[in-house]
Structure 1
Amino acid sequence: EKMNERLRNYEAELKRKREEKLSEFEIQESSSKF
């Protein structure tokens, strides 16, 4: 049970990091157009 919770937290963390990276990339892309 604890293992599942840890795994869920880990996956949520990965997802959050990936989304942060994507939004950073989008910001860089949009700022490079100017």
Structure 2
Amino acid sequence: ISWSKIKEEAKHLMIEGDATVLLPLMISALLTRVANR
């Protein structure tokens, strides 16, 4: 449910893993992208 925020032709990605491992990695990647703007 994205309320039309995601384009229909957008690439889809499925990652299976433990949130205690993946969440810090995702936050780190996000902060790196924001810092490089």
How does the TM-score come out when normalised to structure 2? 0.49
Say how many residue pairs are matched: 21
Matching residue of 2:33? 29
Segments of 5+ residues of structure 1 without an aligned counterpart are 1-10
Larger Rg: 1
Structure 1 vs Structure 2 CA RMSD: 1.5
How does the TM-score come out when normalised to structure 1? 0.53
Larger % of helix: which?
1
The 3-state SS of whatever aligns with 1:27 is helix
Identity, % of aligned positions: 0
Moved over 3 A (4+): none
Segments of 5+ residues of structure 2 without an aligned counterpart are 1-16
